Amino acid sequence: MKIAIMGAGLSGLACAITLEKFGVFPTIFEKRSRVGDRFVNGEALLPIFNRPINDDYAYLSEKHGIFLQPLANISKMNFYSENGQGLVRGHLGFINSRGREDESFESQLFRQVKSEITFNSKYTYEELLQDFTHVIMATGDAEYALNVHNFRVDLTATLKGATVEGKFDRHHVSIWLDNHVAPKGYGFLLPYSEKEAVITIAYPDYQDNQSINLDSLWDRFYTKVCKDLNQNLRITDQFEVNRYIMGLCEYPRLGNTFFTGNCFGAMMPGFGFGQLPSMLTGIYVAHDLCGKGKYEELVKPLRKSYHNSLVIRQAMEQLDNHKLDLIVNLLNNRVSTHILTTNKLNPLKIASYILRPFTKSNPRKSRLP
Ligand SMILES: Cc1cc2nc3c(=O)[nH]c(=O)nc-3n(C[C@H](O)[C@H](O)[C@H](O)COP(=O)(O)OP(=O)(O)OC[C@H]3O[C@@H](n4cnc5c(N)ncnc54)[C@H](O)[C@@H]3O)c2cc1C
Protein backbone atom coordinates (compact mmCIF):
# COMPACT_ATOMS: atom_id res chain seq x y z
CA MET A 1 0.00 0.00 0.00
CA LYS A 2 1.24 3.48 -0.89
CA ILE A 3 -0.97 6.02 0.84
CA ALA A 4 -1.25 9.77 0.16
CA ILE A 5 -3.06 12.11 2.53
CA MET A 6 -4.09 15.41 0.93
CA GLY A 7 -4.23 17.99 3.74
CA ALA A 8 -2.39 18.20 7.08
CA GLY A 9 -5.35 19.37 9.16
CA LEU A 10 -7.34 17.57 11.84
CA SER A 11 -8.58 14.62 9.81
CA GLY A 12 -5.37 14.14 7.77
CA LEU A 13 -3.06 14.23 10.79
CA ALA A 14 -5.35 12.01 12.93
CA CYS A 15 -5.35 9.52 10.04
CA ALA A 16 -1.55 9.57 9.77
CA ILE A 17 -1.05 9.08 13.54
CA THR A 18 -3.42 6.09 13.52
CA LEU A 19 -1.85 4.50 10.42
CA GLU A 20 1.56 4.81 12.06
CA LYS A 21 0.30 2.92 15.12
CA PHE A 22 -0.38 0.01 12.75
CA GLY A 23 3.09 0.37 11.19
CA VAL A 24 1.92 2.10 7.99
CA PHE A 25 3.60 5.37 6.99
CA PRO A 26 1.66 7.56 4.55
CA THR A 27 2.96 10.62 2.67
CA ILE A 28 1.13 13.80 3.59
CA PHE A 29 0.71 16.67 1.12
CA GLU A 30 -0.08 20.09 2.58
CA LYS A 31 -0.66 23.08 0.33
CA ARG A 32 0.46 25.62 2.92
CA SER A 33 4.02 26.19 4.20
CA ARG A 34 3.32 24.71 7.66
CA VAL A 35 0.48 23.16 9.64
CA GLY A 36 -2.18 25.55 10.91
CA ASP A 37 -1.03 28.30 8.55
CA ARG A 38 -4.45 29.94 8.46
CA PHE A 39 -6.14 32.47 10.72
CA VAL A 40 -5.75 31.88 14.45
CA ASN A 41 -9.05 30.93 15.98
CA GLY A 42 -10.56 29.62 19.18
CA GLU A 43 -12.87 26.62 18.85
CA ALA A 44 -14.71 24.41 21.31
CA LEU A 45 -15.48 20.76 21.93
CA LEU A 46 -18.79 20.36 23.72
CA PRO A 47 -19.77 16.84 24.84
CA ILE A 48 -23.44 17.60 24.24
CA PHE A 49 -22.70 17.46 20.48
CA ASN A 50 -20.76 14.21 20.62
CA ARG A 51 -22.81 11.94 22.87
CA PRO A 52 -22.40 9.11 23.81
CA ILE A 53 -18.80 10.33 24.09
CA ASN A 54 -18.68 12.39 27.29
CA ASP A 55 -15.12 13.67 27.31
CA ASP A 56 -13.63 14.06 23.84
CA TYR A 57 -10.04 14.39 25.10
CA ALA A 58 -10.20 11.30 27.32
CA TYR A 59 -11.91 9.38 24.52
CA LEU A 60 -9.25 10.29 21.94
CA SER A 61 -6.37 9.36 24.21
CA GLU A 62 -7.80 6.20 25.78
CA LYS A 63 -9.50 4.76 22.73
CA HIS A 64 -7.25 6.02 19.92
CA GLY A 65 -3.89 7.04 21.41
CA ILE A 66 -4.21 10.64 20.21
CA PHE A 67 -3.20 13.15 22.87
CA LEU A 68 -4.55 16.68 22.90
CA GLN A 69 -4.65 19.40 25.54
CA PRO A 70 -7.30 22.13 25.67
CA LEU A 71 -6.67 25.79 26.51
CA ALA A 72 -9.28 25.55 29.29
CA ASN A 73 -12.38 23.68 30.39
CA ILE A 74 -15.72 25.47 30.19
CA SER A 75 -17.56 25.81 33.50
CA LYS A 76 -19.95 28.63 32.65
CA MET A 77 -21.96 29.51 29.55
CA ASN A 78 -23.91 32.74 29.24
CA PHE A 79 -26.64 32.98 26.64
CA TYR A 80 -27.89 36.36 25.36
CA SER A 81 -30.92 36.98 23.15
CA GLU A 82 -32.49 40.29 22.19
CA ASN A 83 -34.23 40.67 25.57
CA GLY A 84 -33.22 37.58 27.47
CA GLN A 85 -30.30 36.18 29.35
CA GLY A 86 -29.53 32.68 30.59
CA LEU A 87 -26.69 31.06 32.48
CA VAL A 88 -25.68 27.41 32.56
CA ARG A 89 -23.01 26.09 34.91
CA GLY A 90 -21.30 22.71 35.04
CA HIS A 91 -18.71 20.76 33.08
CA LEU A 92 -19.78 21.96 29.64
CA GLY A 93 -16.75 21.19 27.49
CA PHE A 94 -13.37 22.62 26.47
CA ILE A 95 -11.86 25.51 24.53
CA ASN A 96 -8.96 24.88 22.15
CA SER A 97 -7.00 26.95 19.72
CA ARG A 98 -6.53 26.47 15.99
CA GLY A 99 -3.89 27.89 13.70
CA ARG A 100 -0.17 28.57 13.89
CA GLU A 101 0.28 28.69 17.68
CA ASP A 102 2.23 25.95 19.47
CA GLU A 103 -0.81 24.86 21.46
CA SER A 104 -3.20 24.71 18.48
CA PHE A 105 -4.76 21.34 17.67
CA GLU A 106 -2.87 21.22 14.37
CA SER A 107 0.49 21.82 16.10
CA GLN A 108 -0.26 19.24 18.81
CA LEU A 109 -1.20 16.61 16.22
CA PHE A 110 1.81 17.50 14.04
CA ARG A 111 4.16 16.74 16.96
CA GLN A 112 2.69 13.21 17.13
CA VAL A 113 3.22 12.49 13.40
CA LYS A 114 6.36 10.74 12.15
CA SER A 115 5.41 10.43 8.46
CA GLU A 116 6.84 12.68 5.77
CA ILE A 117 4.95 15.90 5.05
CA THR A 118 5.43 17.71 1.74
CA PHE A 119 4.62 21.38 2.41
CA ASN A 120 3.72 23.93 -0.28
CA SER A 121 2.27 21.01 -2.24
CA LYS A 122 0.75 21.81 -5.61
CA TYR A 123 -0.19 18.20 -6.36
CA THR A 124 -3.72 17.70 -7.56
CA TYR A 125 -5.93 14.81 -6.57
CA GLU A 126 -5.55 13.39 -10.07
CA GLU A 127 -1.74 13.49 -9.84
CA LEU A 128 -1.75 11.74 -6.47
CA LEU A 129 -3.99 9.01 -7.90
CA GLN A 130 -1.26 8.27 -10.45
CA ASP A 131 1.44 7.70 -7.84
CA PHE A 132 -0.38 6.18 -4.87
CA THR A 133 -2.55 3.13 -4.29
CA HIS A 134 -4.84 5.06 -1.92
CA VAL A 135 -5.67 8.76 -1.62
CA ILE A 136 -7.24 10.29 1.49
CA MET A 137 -8.99 13.59 0.83
CA ALA A 138 -8.56 15.75 3.93
CA THR A 139 -8.51 19.26 2.45
CA GLY A 140 -11.08 20.76 4.82
CA ASP A 141 -13.58 21.63 2.10
CA ALA A 142 -15.98 19.87 -0.19
CA GLU A 143 -14.43 21.06 -3.45
CA TYR A 144 -13.03 17.73 -4.65
CA ALA A 145 -16.01 15.74 -3.41
CA LEU A 146 -18.22 18.16 -5.37
CA ASN A 147 -16.00 17.83 -8.47
CA VAL A 148 -16.56 14.08 -8.51
CA HIS A 149 -20.31 14.55 -7.86
CA ASN A 150 -20.06 12.93 -4.47
CA PHE A 151 -21.31 15.70 -2.16
CA ARG A 152 -24.74 17.01 -1.30
CA VAL A 153 -24.66 20.64 -0.17
CA ASP A 154 -27.27 21.46 2.47
CA LEU A 155 -26.25 25.03 3.20
CA THR A 156 -23.38 27.45 3.11
CA ALA A 157 -22.56 29.87 5.91
CA THR A 158 -20.80 33.18 6.37
CA LEU A 159 -18.52 33.57 9.38
CA LYS A 160 -16.85 36.73 10.58
CA GLY A 161 -14.65 36.86 13.63
CA ALA A 162 -12.06 38.89 15.49
CA THR A 163 -9.48 38.53 18.21
CA VAL A 164 -10.31 41.02 20.93
CA GLU A 165 -8.46 42.29 23.98
CA GLY A 166 -10.28 42.79 27.25
CA LYS A 167 -10.76 41.06 30.61
CA PHE A 168 -12.06 37.50 30.46
CA ASP A 169 -12.63 34.46 32.61
CA ARG A 170 -10.87 31.64 30.71
CA HIS A 171 -13.61 29.18 31.65
CA HIS A 172 -16.55 31.33 30.67
CA VAL A 173 -18.09 31.24 27.18
CA SER A 174 -20.85 33.54 25.88
CA ILE A 175 -23.36 32.81 23.13
CA TRP A 176 -25.73 35.21 21.34
CA LEU A 177 -28.96 33.94 19.81
CA ASP A 178 -30.42 37.05 18.23
CA ASN A 179 -31.62 37.39 14.63
CA HIS A 180 -30.57 41.07 14.62
CA VAL A 181 -26.91 40.16 15.01
CA ALA A 182 -26.81 36.71 13.36
CA PRO A 183 -29.95 35.98 11.33
CA LYS A 184 -30.85 32.28 11.76
CA GLY A 185 -27.39 31.84 13.21
CA TYR A 186 -25.47 32.64 16.36
CA GLY A 187 -22.61 34.64 17.79
CA PHE A 188 -20.13 33.53 20.41
CA LEU A 189 -17.16 34.58 22.51
CA LEU A 190 -14.45 32.08 23.40
CA PRO A 191 -11.56 33.29 25.58
CA TYR A 192 -7.95 32.31 24.76
CA SER A 193 -6.69 33.74 28.02
CA GLU A 194 -7.58 36.30 30.70
CA LYS A 195 -6.71 39.06 28.20
CA GLU A 196 -7.68 37.73 24.78
CA ALA A 197 -10.77 36.16 23.22
CA VAL A 198 -12.28 35.45 19.84
CA ILE A 199 -15.74 36.76 18.96
CA THR A 200 -17.54 35.34 15.94
CA ILE A 201 -20.88 35.48 14.14
CA ALA A 202 -22.06 32.68 11.86
CA TYR A 203 -25.22 32.61 9.78
CA PRO A 204 -26.54 30.66 6.79
CA ASP A 205 -26.48 32.20 3.29
CA TYR A 206 -30.11 31.71 2.36
CA GLN A 207 -31.81 33.86 -0.22
CA ASP A 208 -33.57 35.95 2.44
CA ASN A 209 -30.16 36.57 4.05
CA GLN A 210 -28.53 37.69 0.78
CA SER A 211 -29.33 41.38 1.18
CA ILE A 212 -27.57 41.53 4.54
CA ASN A 213 -24.66 43.88 4.81
CA LEU A 214 -22.06 41.85 6.72
CA ASP A 215 -20.20 44.93 7.96
CA SER A 216 -23.26 46.51 9.55
CA LEU A 217 -24.26 43.14 11.04
CA TRP A 218 -20.75 42.86 12.48
CA ASP A 219 -20.90 46.38 13.93
CA ARG A 220 -24.19 45.53 15.61
CA PHE A 221 -22.73 42.30 17.04
CA TYR A 222 -19.54 43.95 18.27
CA THR A 223 -21.54 46.75 19.92
CA LYS A 224 -23.84 44.22 21.60
CA VAL A 225 -20.94 42.14 22.88
CA CYS A 226 -19.28 45.26 24.36
CA LYS A 227 -22.59 46.29 25.95
CA ASP A 228 -23.47 42.84 27.35
CA LEU A 229 -19.96 42.39 28.75
CA ASN A 230 -19.76 46.01 29.87
CA GLN A 231 -16.32 46.39 28.29
CA ASN A 232 -14.70 48.30 25.45
CA LEU A 233 -13.09 45.43 23.57
CA ARG A 234 -10.12 46.24 21.33
CA ILE A 235 -10.02 44.35 18.01
CA THR A 236 -6.50 43.17 17.11
CA ASP A 237 -7.09 40.73 14.26
CA GLN A 238 -10.02 39.81 12.01
CA PHE A 239 -11.08 36.97 9.72
CA GLU A 240 -13.94 36.27 7.37
CA VAL A 241 -15.04 32.98 5.82
CA ASN A 242 -17.55 33.11 2.97
CA ARG A 243 -19.77 30.33 1.69
CA TYR A 244 -18.43 27.69 4.10
CA ILE A 245 -20.03 24.53 2.77
CA MET A 246 -21.97 22.16 4.98
CA GLY A 247 -23.23 18.92 3.55
CA LEU A 248 -22.48 15.25 3.32
CA CYS A 249 -20.67 13.09 0.78
CA GLU A 250 -22.80 10.41 -0.82
CA TYR A 251 -20.08 7.75 -0.65
CA PRO A 252 -17.42 8.04 2.09
CA ARG A 253 -15.19 5.82 -0.08
CA LEU A 254 -15.02 5.82 -3.88
CA GLY A 255 -12.66 3.12 -5.15
CA ASN A 256 -9.43 3.77 -3.29
CA THR A 257 -10.25 7.38 -2.43
CA PHE A 258 -11.51 8.14 1.08
CA PHE A 259 -13.29 11.37 2.03
CA THR A 260 -12.51 12.60 5.55
CA GLY A 261 -13.20 15.65 7.72
CA ASN A 262 -15.16 18.38 5.96
CA CYS A 263 -14.67 16.47 2.64
CA PHE A 264 -16.78 13.73 4.23
CA GLY A 265 -19.31 16.08 5.85
CA ALA A 266 -17.97 16.22 9.39
CA MET A 267 -19.17 19.77 10.00
CA MET A 268 -22.47 19.51 11.86
CA PRO A 269 -24.95 22.03 10.42
CA GLY A 270 -26.76 22.74 13.71
CA PHE A 271 -24.01 24.73 15.41
CA GLY A 272 -20.97 24.21 13.16
CA PHE A 273 -19.07 21.69 15.28
CA GLY A 274 -16.78 19.49 13.22
CA GLN A 275 -13.51 18.94 15.06
CA LEU A 276 -14.18 15.59 16.73
CA PRO A 277 -16.07 14.09 13.74
CA SER A 278 -13.16 15.20 11.49
CA MET A 279 -10.56 13.43 13.62
CA LEU A 280 -12.78 10.34 13.88
CA THR A 281 -13.12 10.06 10.11
CA GLY A 282 -9.33 10.17 9.79
CA ILE A 283 -8.97 7.48 12.47
CA TYR A 284 -11.65 5.31 10.81
CA VAL A 285 -9.94 5.41 7.39
CA ALA A 286 -6.75 4.16 9.05
CA HIS A 287 -8.75 1.35 10.70
CA ASP A 288 -10.20 0.37 7.33
CA LEU A 289 -6.81 0.39 5.57
CA CYS A 290 -5.32 -1.75 8.34
CA GLY A 291 -8.13 -4.30 8.24
CA LYS A 292 -9.77 -3.21 11.52
CA GLY A 293 -13.17 -2.24 10.13
CA LYS A 294 -15.06 -0.91 7.12
CA TYR A 295 -15.01 2.85 6.69
CA GLU A 296 -18.57 3.00 5.38
CA GLU A 297 -19.80 1.17 8.50
CA LEU A 298 -17.66 3.08 10.98
CA VAL A 299 -18.94 6.48 9.79
CA LYS A 300 -22.63 5.52 10.00
CA PRO A 301 -23.11 7.12 13.48
CA LEU A 302 -21.52 10.33 12.16
CA ARG A 303 -23.93 10.39 9.23
CA LYS A 304 -26.82 9.98 11.71
CA SER A 305 -25.48 12.82 13.87
CA TYR A 306 -25.24 14.97 10.75
CA HIS A 307 -28.92 14.36 9.92
CA ASN A 308 -29.96 15.03 13.53
CA SER A 309 -27.98 18.24 13.50
CA LEU A 310 -29.62 19.34 10.24
CA VAL A 311 -33.04 18.91 11.84
CA ILE A 312 -31.94 21.09 14.78
CA ARG A 313 -30.71 23.74 12.32
CA GLN A 314 -33.99 23.76 10.43
CA ALA A 315 -35.94 24.02 13.68
CA MET A 316 -33.73 26.85 14.95
CA GLU A 317 -34.32 28.80 11.77
CA GLN A 318 -38.02 28.97 12.52
CA LEU A 319 -37.46 30.79 15.80
CA ASP A 320 -38.07 34.54 15.90
CA ASN A 321 -36.47 36.74 18.55
CA HIS A 322 -39.44 36.41 20.89
CA LYS A 323 -39.12 32.60 20.92
CA LEU A 324 -35.36 32.89 21.33
CA ASP A 325 -35.95 35.11 24.38
CA LEU A 326 -38.20 32.41 25.88
CA ILE A 327 -35.64 29.67 25.27
CA VAL A 328 -32.73 31.68 26.61
CA ASN A 329 -34.64 32.63 29.76
CA LEU A 330 -35.55 28.97 30.28
CA LEU A 331 -31.87 28.12 30.50
CA ASN A 332 -31.74 29.64 33.97
CA ASN A 333 -33.91 26.78 35.12
CA ARG A 334 -32.17 23.95 37.06
CA VAL A 335 -33.89 21.27 34.98
CA SER A 336 -32.46 22.74 31.74
CA THR A 337 -29.00 22.85 33.29
CA HIS A 338 -29.32 19.21 34.31
CA ILE A 339 -30.40 18.19 30.80
CA LEU A 340 -27.48 20.04 29.24
CA THR A 341 -24.84 18.71 31.61
CA THR A 342 -25.88 15.16 32.43
CA ASN A 343 -24.02 12.57 30.42
CA LYS A 344 -26.89 10.10 30.62
CA LEU A 345 -28.94 11.86 27.93
CA ASN A 346 -28.37 12.82 24.33
CA PRO A 347 -30.60 15.93 24.23
CA LEU A 348 -29.79 16.77 20.61
CA LYS A 349 -30.77 13.31 19.39
CA ILE A 350 -33.99 13.45 21.40
CA ALA A 351 -34.75 16.99 20.18
CA SER A 352 -34.14 16.03 16.56
CA TYR A 353 -36.61 13.12 16.78
CA ILE A 354 -39.22 15.35 18.38
CA LEU A 355 -38.67 18.19 15.91
CA ARG A 356 -38.32 16.13 12.71
CA PRO A 357 -42.05 16.21 11.78
CA PHE A 358 -42.15 20.00 12.24
CA THR A 359 -39.16 20.93 10.09
CA LYS A 360 -40.21 22.12 6.70
CA SER A 361 -37.54 21.06 4.26
CA ASN A 362 -36.44 17.75 2.90
CA PRO A 363 -32.88 17.13 4.10
CA ARG A 364 -32.03 15.39 0.80
CA LYS A 365 -32.63 18.60 -1.14
CA SER A 366 -29.85 21.11 -1.63
CA ARG A 367 -30.68 24.40 0.09
CA LEU A 368 -28.19 26.56 -1.76
CA PRO A 369 -29.57 29.90 -2.85
C1 LIG B 1 -14.52 29.94 11.95
C2 LIG B 1 -14.74 28.48 12.28
C3 LIG B 1 -15.07 28.12 13.58
C4 LIG B 1 -15.28 26.77 13.92
N5 LIG B 1 -15.56 26.46 15.21
C6 LIG B 1 -15.65 25.16 15.57
C7 LIG B 1 -15.85 24.80 16.96
O8 LIG B 1 -15.93 25.67 17.85
N9 LIG B 1 -15.93 23.48 17.27
C10 LIG B 1 -15.82 22.49 16.33
O11 LIG B 1 -15.88 21.30 16.69
N12 LIG B 1 -15.65 22.81 15.01
C13 LIG B 1 -15.55 24.10 14.62
N14 LIG B 1 -15.33 24.41 13.30
C15 LIG B 1 -15.25 23.31 12.32
C16 LIG B 1 -13.87 22.60 12.33
O17 LIG B 1 -12.85 23.58 12.37
C18 LIG B 1 -13.75 21.76 11.04
O19 LIG B 1 -14.83 20.89 10.93
C20 LIG B 1 -12.45 20.94 11.02
O21 LIG B 1 -11.31 21.75 11.18
C22 LIG B 1 -12.33 20.21 9.69
O23 LIG B 1 -11.17 19.41 9.70
P24 LIG B 1 -10.53 18.93 8.33
O25 LIG B 1 -9.48 17.95 8.64
O26 LIG B 1 -11.61 18.55 7.38
O27 LIG B 1 -9.89 20.27 7.72
P28 LIG B 1 -8.78 21.23 8.29
O29 LIG B 1 -8.44 20.93 9.70
O30 LIG B 1 -9.20 22.61 7.93
O31 LIG B 1 -7.50 20.86 7.41
C32 LIG B 1 -7.47 20.95 6.02
C33 LIG B 1 -6.00 21.05 5.59
O34 LIG B 1 -5.92 20.78 4.20
C35 LIG B 1 -5.05 21.73 3.59
N36 LIG B 1 -5.40 21.78 2.16
C37 LIG B 1 -6.45 22.41 1.58
N38 LIG B 1 -6.44 22.21 0.25
C39 LIG B 1 -5.34 21.44 0.00
C40 LIG B 1 -4.78 20.91 -1.20
N41 LIG B 1 -5.35 21.12 -2.39
N42 LIG B 1 -3.64 20.16 -1.11
C43 LIG B 1 -3.06 19.94 0.11
N44 LIG B 1 -3.53 20.44 1.26
C45 LIG B 1 -4.66 21.16 1.21
C46 LIG B 1 -5.33 23.00 4.37
O47 LIG B 1 -4.27 23.93 4.21
C48 LIG B 1 -5.43 22.45 5.79
O49 LIG B 1 -4.18 22.37 6.42
C50 LIG B 1 -15.17 25.76 12.91
C51 LIG B 1 -14.86 26.13 11.60
C52 LIG B 1 -14.65 27.46 11.27
C53 LIG B 1 -14.30 27.83 9.85
Is the CB of 278 within 6 Å of ligand 1? yes
Spell out the CATH class of 3-358. alpha beta
| pLDDT (mean) for 348-367 | 60
| DSSP bridge pairs for 240 | 160
More confident residue, 51 or 198: 198
Q: How far is the CA of 261 from the centre of ligand 1 (A)?
A: 8
Is the CB of 34 within 6 Å of ligand 1? no
Q: How far is the CA of 82 from the centre of ligand 1 (A)?
A: 31
pLDDT surpasses 60 at 343: yes
pLDDT surpasses 80 at 350: no
d(CA 86, CA 250): 39
> Closest ligand 1 atom to the C-alpha of 190?
8
Q: What is the pLDDT of residues 197-227, one digit of tens each?
A: 999 999 999 877 777 889 999 999 999 999 9
Is the CB of 7 within 6 Å of ligand 1? yes
Global pTM value: 0.94
Q: What is the pLDDT of residues 270-279, one digit of tens each?
A: 889 999 999 9
Residue of 297, 266, 199 lying closest to 50 (CA atoms) = 266
d(CA 165, CA 182): 22
Spatial contact of 19 and 148, defined as CB atoms under 8 Å apart: no
Is the CB of 86 within 6 Å of ligand 1? no
Residue of 276, 284, 242 lying closest to 259 (CA atoms) = 284
Q: What is the pLDDT of residues 137-194, one digit of tens each?
A: 999 999 889 999 999 999 999 999 999 999 999 999 999 999 999 999 999 999 999 9
d(CA 187, CA 207): 20
> Closest ligand 1 atom to the C-alpha of 244?
53
Pick the range with the lowest mean pLDDT from 296-305, 308-317, 324-333, 354-363.
354-363
pLDDT surpasses 80 at 338: no
DSSP state letters, 105-118: HHHHHHTT--SEEE
Domain boundaries, the chain: 3-358
Q: Three-class SS of residue 353?
A: helix
Residue 49 pLDDT class (50, 70, 90 cuts): confident
Q: How far is the CA of 139 from the centre of ligand 1 (A)?
A: 8
Query: Mean pLDDT over all residues of the chain?
Result: 92
User: Which of the listed residues 66, 71, 120, 278 should we mutate to test ligand 1's pocket, taking the one with most ligand atoms within 8 A of CB?
Assistant: 278
pLDDT for position 123:
97
pLDDT for position 366:
40
